[in-house]
Structure formats: C-alpha cells, structure tokens
Chains A and B, each alone.
Chain A
Amino acid sequence: MTHARMRRGGPPAGPPDGRFRPARRSKPGLADREGFLAWAMLLPSVVYIIALVGVPFLLAIAFAFSDVTTGDPSYDFVGFRNFEAIFDDRVFWRSLVNTVVFTVITMIFIVLLGKILANILVADFRGKWFVRFLVLLPWTTPVALSTISWLWFLDSIYSPVDWVLRQLGVIDTNVVWLGRPSAAMVSVIAVQVWRLTPLAAVIVMAGLVAIPRDIDEAARIDGAGFWRRMFEVTIPLTLPVIAVAGLFGAIMTFTDMTVSYVLTRGGPTHSTDVLASWAYFRGIEGGDVGQGAAIALFLFPILLAGAIAILRAVRRLESQ
C-alpha cells in the first residue's frame, strides 16, 4: 500500500506519469503509521495485563517472603520462614502429591474420552444438535454449581449413583464416596474428568475438522478401514491438537480448587486437598497471607513447564 488514495468512483484526474496525487488528500496522520498504530492498539491490553496480572504476580512473590496476615497487613520481610513452615507441614506435601496425582490421572482420561467424544460429535447423525447440547452441559455449567449437584449424587445415604449400583447388584451397602479417603479421591477425579472432557472434545474437534477431506478420502479409496484410518491417518494428524487438549485439561485440573473445595473441603483428613485449595484455606480462611502465597507459588514452575509444552505442540501444528 502506498499513501496514494483514490476517492470512490470517478477516473483518476492526475498527470499521466503515474505520480498521482488526489485532490482531497489528508496528510497521513499518526493513526496511519502502522508502527504507531500497532502499539496504540496493543497498549491498553498490555497495560491492563501488567497492572492486574504482572503486578499481583510480583506481589504474590513478595507476600510469600512476608509475615502479612489479614489481621496485620503491614509488610515485614521474613526471608524463607514461610517456606520452612509449609515444608514442615505434612498437609502441604499431601496436597502437592494430590495435585500431581489428580492432574496426571485426569489428563489421561480427558485425552482418551475427549478424543472418543470428539469423534462422536463430528459424525453425522440425526439429533446431533441435541446430543451436542447435552454433551456441553458439564463444561458450560458454572463449576461450583455442578459440583454441588455432585455433592448430592455422592451423598452418603441418598446417593443416586449408589441407588443405580444397588439396583444393578454391584454393591450391597452404600459406598460413602466422600467419607473415605480413597473413594473421595476417586470422586474428585471423576468430577474433574466429567466436567473437562467436553472442553477437550471441543478442542480435538477443532483438529478433526481441520484435516483436509481428501486425505481421509484417499485412505478410504486405498481400502483403509475405520480403525486403520483412525490410527494411521487421523490420530497422527491431530496429535498436536490432542496434546493441546490434554495440556489444557491438565492446567485446569492443576490449578482448580473448586471441586475439592465444594465437594470435600479437602477432607476427609486432607486426603483431597490440592495446592490451590490448601493455599485458600491457609491464606484466606486461616488469614495467613504469607504462607498462602508461598503455597500458591508452588503452582508456578509446573505451570510454566505445561505452558512451554503447549507452545511446542502449537509450533508443531504450525509446521504442518
């Protein structure tokens, strides 16, 4: 693009040598210089993000080295005392292990089920719109509300899940899902998988619809059956998207405290506490902002690794 601009309609009335100058031509203002414009349009977002993500992040680091509590908000530097305190706390280690265990198991299930669900959702069948609507429900419902519903479904006495299992003859007495450590962990993982699988499916769907149709058709003409096409064409081509879906799920599980907080309050005896919920109990309900911030900070290195992994997967998408 040059700065020469023409008015709509009418033949150009300039000299025939090509150095055309329109009659009414405003001087190119600041808003026409792309370098300036690019900055000006980006700046509000950058400033906003620095102010409300960057600054609080630095503050969180500062709090982790301080003795700030909700009762005494004055800042005193205390070095590594908060970290020493949380390292001495067995609940912290328990919640760290829980966070990792929940994340890994949830991610595996999300990838598997999300892939299957995505394949169902891109297939052609009647009533697809309604099926999609039903499938989206777990993800689009505010997580606090759906988790409360699960609190009832896993109730120790009236649980509908147990009712079904009893009718099927699988169990004789109720499981008491949330009252026993192992069953509570299974419950938390199940609810996470249930609520995040639709998101993974939507992301994988995005990869599936982006596969050029002719590749699939060529494989079909060459006589490849459904499973062969699935494992030798579709999955290799969508692997980066599947990776992105898995990592999104992992990050959302890793940083989530809602399910643990609402479903079990971290119990029984901290068996389902995760880093995020433990930071909340310590930092907000316990009032010890310094220790809460120190616990929350442990999320960051693992998150960073996850983010880098996502970017690598995206790079591979790009190079395709």
Chain B
Amino acid sequence: MTNTLVTKDGAPRQTSQEVERLRRRYAIRHVLARCGVYGAAVLASLVCALPFLWSAVSAFKQNRDLYNPESSPFLFNEPATPDHVRFLFSDTPFLTFVVNTLLVGALVVVLTLALALPAAYSLARLNRPWGTPMGIAIFLVYLVPPSLLFLSLTRVVVALGLEDTIWSMVVVYPTITVPVSVWLLIGFLKAVPKDVEEQAMVDGYSRLGAFGRAVLPLVFPGIVAVVVFSFTLTASEFVYALAFVSASPEMVVSTGVPTQLIRGDVFFWQSLQAATVTMAVPIAFLFNLFLDRFVTGFTMGAVKT
C-alpha cells in the first residue's frame, strides 16, 4: 500500500500499471473520505444525543441503581423498572401539562398564521415602498427578548385578568412566533412565480381570491414548516410561562415539570428524565421531517428580503 501511494514521480507516461496505481490511490482516498464522514457523523450524534441516552436509561433505573456512584450510566445494573415512568403519568399532572402545551401550541400556531400570512403576502408581493423597511422592522422584533419584556408584560397580563391561565400564553406567545414566521413566509412567497397570481387574476379572481386559491396551495409546504417551527418555539418558551402562571393545573411542560417534579431538595430524577425524553423525541422527529423546507425557507427569506 505504501508503494502505491508514493508513485508521484510526475512522469507523463501512462503505463497500464500506473493507471492501476492511480485508481487504487483514489479508491483508498475515497474509502478514507467515507470513513471520515461516517466517523464525524457518529461523533456528532454522540455529542448531541448521549445525554438523551442517559436520560432514557436512567428513567427506568431503580433507586439503588441510580443512586450508586459506581454503577454505569449506560447499563442497567439492577433490573429495569417502569415504576417511575408510571409515576410520572399517573401521579403527577404531567399529562395535564402536555395537554396544556399542545393546546397553547395549537392556538398560538393558528393566531400566528392568521397574523403572519397576510402580513408576509403584503410585504412580499404588494410592492409598497415601505415593504423592505417594514420587513426589517418586523424581523427586529424577533430579537427583542422575553427577558426584557416579562416584567411589564406580567403587568399587562394581570391588567387583562389573564394571570394563571393558559390564555396569558396564548395571547403573548405570538409576539415570539409572528416575526420569525413573517420572515420565513416572505421567503416562501417570493419563491412562487408572480405569473401564478396574474394568471389567476386574468381568470377572474380578485387579488385576495388569487392569494387564497392560487398562492396559498403553492406555499403550503412553507406553511407547514412555519407551523412546526412556531410550535417548537412555543413549547420551549420558559420565561413568560414562569412569570405568568403559577397555578399548576394551567402550567405547560416547560414550567410544570421543573416546579412540580422538584419538591424543595427532592428531585424525582427518573420521572424528570422520562419527561425530558417524552417531550424531546416527538418534537425532534417532527422538526426533522420539515428540516429541509425550513433550511430553504431561511435562505429565501435572508437572500430576497
């Protein structure tokens, strides 16, 4: 093998032997490159997902296995037990939290689309001189963080009489999701050829009709990506949820689990880990389905706004 690799004499004559050597050299290179790619992929997955493996394993561990500094975190040193997972689902309000999260997520997604779709269409298509600065202004709102606004928003929520209800989150969360959704939707809308609407309008639709009947179906994949993205943002939000809601039946997962499964110094570790995995896997799965669309949407918005 070392022989074949050092045939770099630069001679122009291409004997069949040399061609063979070159071919082998490139074959080896190819194999090495493949190994590199697979090695890097495995390493990346390990770094990202190893904690979740630990979570999944420890969720089923018995106490004397978990609370033993010598026992391997990868293996069951004592028989696995479903008790702690059952505890999570039957003896804690975890399912209520999940239902609240889904409910808040769904309502926020509906509100977000109702606000962001027309706004994005207006900015992407109805060429107004203020279109670009307005688009930038809306995007900038995405950068105003909850940690800057939660104190005054808490007052607003109290003034509206929404404290300790899921409605406080339904009303406030679109401030996070609308700007970024507008940004993404502008990208998707710009990718639709203008001829589509013009043809629809020639065919007798009004501008709104053309938007509804011709453009919306074409950007449907983009809309789905926006829905998934908004839902992910909503499910992860923590600061507002913590500041607005302190009654456990109205909590969402991201605040309910930390406050209800940690009693003072007592951590229900196995149940906590089970809760993390239960939430993590479906959201990542869903997001992965639409990753490519999200990726293209991001560039389209970035390049063409």
Contacts and interface: CB of A to CB of B under 8 A. Distances in A.
Interface of A: 1, 5-8, 29, 31-32, 34-35, 37-42, 44-46, 48-49, 52-53, 55-57, 59-60, 63, 73, 116-117, 120, 123, 125, 127-138, 140-146, 148-153, 157-158, 160, 163-164, 174, 194, 197-198, 202-203, 205-207, 209-210, 226, 241, 244, 251, 254-258, 262, 275-276, 279-280, 283-284, 289, 292-293, 296-297, 299-300, 303, 306-307, 310-311, 314, 317-318, 320
Contacts of A60: 148-149, 151-152
A174 B69 CA distance: 10
B279 A206 contact: no
A311 B41 CA distance: 32
Given A297-B148, A307-B143, A210 B41 contact: no
Contact of A52 (B40, B41, B175): B175
Contacts of B141: 49, 53
B223 interface: no
B178 A49 contact: yes
Interface of B: 33-34, 37-38, 40-41, 44-45, 47-49, 51-52, 54-55, 58, 66-69, 72-73, 114-116, 118-119, 121-123, 126-128, 131, 134, 136, 138, 140-141, 143-156, 171-172, 174-175, 178-179, 182, 198, 201-204, 206-208, 232, 235-236, 238-239, 242-243, 253-255, 257-258, 262, 267, 269, 272-273, 275-276, 279-281, 283-285, 287-288, 291, 294-296, 298-299, 302-305
Contacts of B116: 45
List the 8 closest A-B pairs by CB distance, nearest first.
A255-B145, A160-B73, A276-B147, A41-B118, A59-B152, A38-B126, A134-B49, A41-B122
Contacts of A300: 148
Given A150-B51, A284-B151, A144 B140 contact: no
A158 B147 contact: no
Contacts of B287: 136, 140
Main secondary structure of the interface of B (DSSP, over half): helix
Main secondary structure of the interface of A (DSSP, over half): helix
Contacts of A148: 257-258, 262, 272, 276
Given A60-B152, A296-B151, A137 B284 contact: yes
Nearest to B132: A318
B257 A56 contact: no
B151 A289 contact: yes
Given A142-B238, A152-B269, A45 B178 contact: yes
Nearest to A47: B115
